[in-house]
Copies of this chain bind each other. A is one copy, B any other.
Amino acid sequence: MHDTRTAGETSTRDRLEAAALTLFEQHGFDAVTTEQIAAAAGVSTRTFFRHFPTKIDALLGDIDARTLEFALRLHRQPPDLGLNEALIAAITEEEAEATGASMLPADLVRARVLRGTPSLADEIRTYEAKLERHIAEWIGQRTGHDADDFRIRVAAGAYVAARRVVVEEWQRSGGTAPVVDLARRSLETVHVTIT
C-alpha cells in the first residue's frame, strides 16, 4: 500500500515512538506500560505490537540499522588505514554526525532514558553481539583471515568493549569529552595486533 499521508500528518509508528519517548522520560522505562503508550498515540495496544516487536524497541528505534551503519562506516575507511586508526576514524565520524545538524532530540532522550535505567543499560549489551559479528567480519576481510578465527573474534570482542567504554565515558562527560582523544587513549590501553 502506498503511503497516503499528506503534509502535517504523522504515521502511527512515528506517533507511537514519540509517545513512548515522552512517557519514558517522564516516568521512567519500567513505570510505563505498552497500554499507556498506545493510548497516548491514540491506538490499541495490539497496534503497538504491530509496529514494535517489544517495548524496548520503542525506545531503541531501529538499533539494528544503526549497528549496521557503524559496520558500513568501518568498511568505508580507506584501506591504507590500520585497524586501530580505522576504528578511531569510524567512532569519530559517528560522533560528528551525532552532534551535527542531524542530531535529533529523540536521540538525546534515548540516551537519557538509557542512562536513567541501569538495568536497561546492562541489557543493552545483548545487542553488542551483532555488532561484534559485524566487526569480526570487517577485521577478517582486512586481514585476510576467517571472521570465525579465534584471534579475530578476540580482537572484535576487545574492539566492541573499547567502543562501548568510549561511548560510556563520552556520555558521562555530557558529550563534552573529545571522542577522538577517548578512542585514541582506549586503543593505547588495549592494543590489538593480528599476526
Contacts and interface: CB of A to CB of B under 8 A. Distances in A.
Contact of A190 (B185, B188, B192): B192
Contacts of A158: 157-158, 161-162, 189-190
A194 B190 CA distance: 9
A155 B189 CA distance: 7
Interface residues of A, number: 32
B162 A150 contact: no
B126 A189 contact: no
Contacts of A128: 125
A39 interface: no
Most-contacted residue by chain B among A126, A161, A182, A186 (CB, 10 A): A161
Interface in A174-195: 182, 185-186, 188-195
Contact of A193 (B165, B169, B189): B189
A165 B147 CA distance: 13
